[in-house]
Amino acid sequence: MENESGELLILRPGPLTTVQDLGRRGVAHLGVPRAGALDEPALRAANRLVGNEPGAAALETTLGGVALRAVGRPAVIAVTGAPAPVLLDGRPVAWGAAVAVPAGAVLEVGAATAGVRSMVAVAGGITVAPVLGSRSADLLSGLGPAPLAVGDRLPVGPPPPHADRPDLVPLPGPGAELVLRLRLGPHAHWFTPRTLAQLGRDRYAVSPASNRIGLRTQGPPVERALAGELPSEGMVLGAVQIPPDGQPVVFLADHPTTGGYPVVGVVPAADLAAAAQARPGTPVRFTPLPER
């Protein structure tokens, strides 16, 4: 009878590889960020390719990929998100498809050729202990498993009972320009109508200081009409804060649950996967939506 236990042994963790699922929902009132995969469609696609439930925990790599060994039993692994070369014991295999990895074999995801973050899903999911209902690593609060290091061993759950795996799950590729829709408010009155109109015309670029907490931008400062600061209040995913330097910051999955800088608007969640894949220097354009 096949041994149901399995592990992934981390041989090369890359610059930043974390365990992520769909995040911690419903705990923001406790001061706990949502966390979870920054490119949620890529996570769902990778899980579908290996027959998992959509929210099973997987690996999120950053630019440099990861190398791992299947330990204990064979594994089925799929890589989505940022395109990257994938090797099995040194031989090229498919990106964006399920790959059978024999026990003891090494699967290596190379540096991303476009985009930033690849998702690496394994049939059965990564079954590290959940914290507040999620297995996600939260880099702001420190909840969940730490970023991966050489020698880490990650437990893998039993293979899905009905591995109904598609051959392909289409996903859009990283774009040359990042276009973010912006629903104005709740602090749009802190800015003049001229400033808000200019925000939709100005061009920004992704800052190298961007991370899982927020997409930072570089460009013309957004000038305020009101001085001073706000009392801290709740923040939501996609909120666009304007700090004192006037450079918009788009909150991503590890964002703080409160903040005191004015929020000029909120980017719809559907646009945030593209933000997660935008490399430093990528042009950014905000498109204000009409008021409802």
pLDDT in tens, 72-102: 999 999 999 999 999 999 999 999 999 999 9
The confidence score (pLDDT) of residue 290 equals 83
Q: Tell me the average pLDDT of the chain.
A: 93
Alpha-carbon separation of residue 70 from 3, 41, 156 (angstroms): 13, 25, 10
Alpha-carbon separation of residue 152 from 37, 184, 254 (angstroms): 20, 44, 23
Alpha-carbon separation of residue 250 from 81, 126, 174, 210, 214 (angstroms): 20, 29, 18, 9, 5
| Domain ranges across the chain | 6-156, 178-288
Q: What does pTM read for this prediction?
A: 0.93
Question: In 10 A of CB 255, how many CB atoms?
Answer: 24
Three-state secondary-structure class, residue 109: strand
Residues in the chain predicted with pLDDT less than 50, given as ranges, are 1-3
The confidence score (pLDDT) of residue 14 equals 97
What confidence tens digit (pLDDT) does each residue in 19-68 have?
999 999 888 888 888 899 999 999 999 999 999 999 999 999 999 999 99
Locate 203 and state its tokens: 């061009």
Q: What fold, for 178-288?
A: Cyclophilin (2.40.100)
Q: Where are the alpha helices (DSSP H) in the chain?
A: 40-50, 193-199, 272-276
Mention every residue, 6+ apart, whose C-beta is less than 8 A from residue 273: 38, 39, 40, 41, 42
Nearest-CA neighbor of 68 among 99, 37, 46? 99
The confidence score (pLDDT) of residue 4 equals 62
